[in-house]
Amino acid sequence: MTSTRLLDVKELEVTFRLDDGLFRAVSDLSFSLEAGKTLGLVGESGSGKSLTALSLLRLIPKPGIISKGEIYFKGENLLALPDEQMRTIRGNKISMIFQEPMTALNPVLTIGAQIAEALLIHTEISPEEAHQKAVDMLGHVGIPDAAARALDYPHNLSGGMRQRAVIAMALICEPEILIADEATTALDTTVQAQILDLLIDLQQEFNMAILFISHNLGVVSEIADDVMVMYGGRLMESSPASHIFSAPQHPYTKGLLSTLPRPELRGQLLPTIEGSVPTRYDQLDGCRFAPRCTEASDECLGDIPIYQNAMGQQAACIKVDDKI
């Protein structure tokens, strides 16, 4: 499959103006998405993953703003587009699915009507045609008896079926980029596996780029070609998915890996990374992971550039520099 670069994010910064001052929630984040490829974005809760995703759609909630950076979609800087043009991209060329399908669905509209709505907004087709396309898409995402389900309300469907309906809604305009933010987190593991398989199939069919976000590195590794690890609003490591497991570079990545279930740990409590993500992480000097890092030294309080090794892995850790 040919890979075309669809999205280029350069030095993204997101800032909230809070009562007690500015909070830089995302800093200096650069990455790109390619057609037909999945980029995994992983990090504990509160690392800045959702804000990164919302930035791509220009949906950062107030009092937040994108305070720096550029986001190029097929060569055009989204941050410079008039609102009206941005609306033609959102939900059409770039669409997003969220963790909790009930919040994405309108409880008083039928599933079919909600899916058809996106088509009616973004294309010229008739309501009848839009309804038929919605039914087809529901069938496509594995919902049995799609014509009947299209007439159901969200509360009539199980959690797994609702998430499929949300995926159908995100895909109905055949987006070039799909953002899945904790899209399988609320589902049990069997349904989660089915949804991952579905996303992989749909990606091959539509050649979409997927930004797949999860706090769970195990889930991300099932679907991602490349993985980006975030902590404290910054990039910690980015690497081909295969290397993340075989040769993790950053202590935070190693920490996340150590928390994954392994057969030899069966019956035991899983290890955790000690401590938690601080709320105002932008006030920390140097490496933001330092307060929790077992390898930290005084040098870690200075500026930490992003180093790259021969395998193309990038990591923001002075210890990685030693190895190159």
Ligand X SMILES: Nc1ncnc2c1ncn2[C@@H]1O[C@H](COP(=O)(O)OP(=O)(O)O)[C@@H](O)[C@H]1O
Here the tokens at position 102 are 């009930």
Verify binding: residue 232, ligand X, rule CB under 6 A: no
Q: Which of residues 62-91 bind ligand X (CB under 6 A)?
A: 64
Q: Name the 3-class secondary structure at 285.
A: coil
Considering Cα of 136, then 141, then 142, then 147, what sign does the dihedral take?
Answer: negative
Verify binding: residue 277, ligand SF4, rule CB under 6 A: no
Please identify, using beta-carbon distances, which residue of 49 and 288 lies nearer to Mg ion. Answer: 49
Verify binding: residue 100, ligand X, rule CB under 6 A: no
The item of ligand SF4, ligand X, Mg ion, none sharing an interface with residue 261, based on CB under 5 to 8 Å by kind, is none
Return the closest-CA partner of residue 13 out of 259, 233, 309.
233
The item of Mg ion, ligand X, ligand SF4, none sharing an interface with residue 48, based on CB under 5 to 8 Å by kind, is ligand X
Q: Using CB under 6 A, which of 50, 95, 221, 239 touches ligand X?
A: 50
Question: Is residue 26 a contact partner of residue 51, using CB atoms and an 8 Å limit?
Answer: yes
Q: Which of residues 192-251 bind ligand SF4 (CB under 6 A)?
A: 250-251
Taking the complex as a whole, the smallest distance from the CB of residue 130 to ligand SF4 amounts, in Å, to 51
Helix 159-171 / helix 189-206 crossing angle, nearest 10 deg: 20
In the sheet with 21-34, reading across from the earlier edge strand, the strands are 21-34, 5-18, 64-73, 76-77
Cis peptide before 63 (omega within 30 of 0): yes
Q: Using CB under 6 A, which of 293, 307, 313, 314 touches ligand SF4?
A: 293
Verify binding: residue 103, ligand X, rule CB under 6 A: no
Taking the complex as a whole, the smallest distance from the CB of residue 219 to ligand SF4 amounts, in Å, to 23
Q: Which residues bind ligand SF4 (CB under 6 A)?
A: 250-251, 287, 289-290, 293, 295-296, 300, 304, 317-319
